[in-house]
Amino acid sequence: MVASEYHDVLKFLLKNLYFRQKITLTIMSKRILISDIAKSLGVSVTTISFILNGKAKEKRISDALTNRVLEYVKKVGYKPNQLAQSLRTGQTKILGLLVEDISNLFFANIAKHIEEFSYASGYHLLYCSMGNDTVKAKELIQLFYDRQVDGFIITPTEGLEDVVALLLKNKVPVVLFDRYIPQVETNYVVSDNFNGAFRATKHLLENADNRRIGFVSLYSDQTQMRDRMDGYMKALDQYQRQAYIKKIQIDEQEDVAIAQIFEFIEDNKLDAVLFATNYLAITGLKVHKKYGKLPAMVAFDDHTLFKLHEPSISVVSQRIETIAEELVKVLLRQIRNPQADVKHIVVPCDLKIRDSSTAKSN
């Protein structure tokens, strides 16, 4: 199945998921077994299993019997016990979603869409937030592995190289997102952070008033941070301007961060700033609120706040739905065909220009 076909199938499934037949609830205390059906119909369990798994033709079950079974199964609302099924087949039809923090709007949004695509394909999701705690992260991956999830969707935090490599070595399907691990050859889906930052910086540079343009980022070796910085640098190089870079500690106290950003802007007399994450940009806005000073700015990742803020904040926004769709697509491909080659998918970003980078105010 080529990619575009696959895409269509997914879309189709998704669209029709909620319009299937009228839903019949079969929540009842005594779950009915395949052996009950076999007895009632005077047929063997094997036959029924074959029919239900679509192997009727292959196993030469007569059409008459096939229909009789199918009808009866529908009538009594039989559903195979998934645990028994999973135990036997080794497939749980569950994916593990490990994000940095599910309460972060970016991840929550991704999670929402991943959920939609997964469910449309018959997969459920176990989720968890790993924070920036490597030990916790490894433990959670181990837990999900022990639960025999069919695949992993992970935002790798630092220090996870070995465990991800271990998963791969054991042929566990994995797809990373938001950032990837250069040393480990895995599937990943990321935004085009480099170009996003490049275009944002260029946009700031094109306003002649912006002589001195700074970049606020985090102390982090993660690829998305590196790429954003590289994009910023390239734009500056093109215009032969000096770079001003400030990195904040990942778990810095908010007021400390605020003070640091304020100093950074003041000391360097910055006219404009590119913030590497929306969280940092929000911290930047608090500088504004506290010190009443705000240079031109662009933030990475959109946020409800940015549209409403006065002035509204320009952003490099990620195509969250596309990312989610690709994630599920790549992962399911790997699950269905373990031989499949590794996929690296880079999704373009969109530069949304608002007032914070154009208005002459401030």
Partner DNA sequence: CATTTTTGCTAAAAGGTTTTAATAGTGGTC
Partner DNA sequence: GACCACTATTAAAACCTTTTAGCAAAAATG
Instruction: Give me the residues that bind DNA (CB under 7 A), please.
Output: 31, 33-35, 42-47, 49-50, 52-53, 59-62, 64-65, 80-81, 84-85, 87-89
Partner that binds at residue 45, options DNA, a second copy, none, CB closer than 5 to 8 Å by kind: DNA
**Nearer CB in complex with a second copy: 135/208:** 135
Of 280, 272, 284, 324, residue with least CA distance to 300: 280
Question: Shortest approach of a second copy to residue 234 CB, angstroms?
Answer: 31
Task: Specify the residue, 35 or 67, whose C-beta has the smaller distance to a second copy.
Answer: 35
With CB under 5 to 8 Å by kind, the binding choice for 2 among a second copy, DNA, none is: none
Q: Which does 322 bind (CB under 5 to 8 A by kind): a second copy, DNA, none?
A: none
Alpha-helix runs per DSSP H in the chain: 3-16, 34-41, 45-52, 63-76, 82-89, 105-120, 134-146, 161-169, 193-206, 223-238, 254-267, 278-291, 304-308, 320-336
CB of 357 to DNA, least distance (A): 57
Cα-Cα-Cα-Cα torsion 316, 320, 324, 330, nearest 10 degrees, comes to -30
In sequence order, what are the residues at sequence separation of 6 or more whose Cβ sits closer than 8 angstroms to the Cβ of residue 31? 81
10 or 213: CB nearest a second copy: 10
Shortest Å, Cβ 164 to DNA: 24
Nearest distance from C-beta of residue 115 to a second copy, angstroms: 6
Sign of the CA dihedral with 58 first, then 61, 67, and 69 last: negative
Binds 272: which of a second copy, DNA, none (CB < 5-8 Å by kind): none
Beta carbon nearer to a second copy, 20 or 60: 20
C-beta of 127 vs 262, nearer to a second copy: 127
Give the phi and the psi of residue 218 in degrees, each rounded to 5: -115, 155
What's the closest the beta carbon of residue 27 comes to DNA, in angstroms?
Answer: 15
Question: What gap in Å lies between CA 273 and CA 300, rounded to an integer?
Answer: 11
DSSP bridge pairs for 353: none
